[in-house]
Amino acid sequence: MIKRIIFMLIAILLILIGSLFFLLPKNYLTGEVIEENHYSYTKAICNETNYCQDYEITCKNKEVIAMTKIIGANIQHLHNWKDSRNNPNPFCE
């Protein structure tokens, strides 16, 4: 009798696990989520008074989906400072 109960419990558990496997969205199992070009990076953005603030920029398929200010990551440059980066403003290229 105890063996039969244990067998039934194991069978029910296997059926539940199997059902969850088939009910999950396909992209969780196949890695299709990775195909979307989704990434983030940090970048200092400077204004006309040479005050620069770091941001975390999140991109998806070459579009900005979020820009989050990084608290404490800022600097005030001298008035004659020039940004030496080639392309200082474009995001998500």
Phi, psi dihedrals of residue 92, rounded to the nearest 5°: 55, 45
Residues 5 and 42 reside in one and the same domain: no
- C-alpha 61/C-alpha 52 separation (Å) is 26
Q: How many domains does the chain have?
A: 2
User: If you search the block for the tokens 């474009």, which residue do you land on?
Assistant: 90
Query: In this predicted model, what pLDDT tens digit does every residue of 24-58 receive, in sequence order?
Result: 665 555 555 555 678 888 888 888 888 889 889 88
pTM score, whole prediction: 0.54
Residues 19 and 46 reside in one and the same domain: no
Average pLDDT for 3-30: 77
Give the range of the structural domain holding residue 45, as residue numbers without chain letter.
36-81
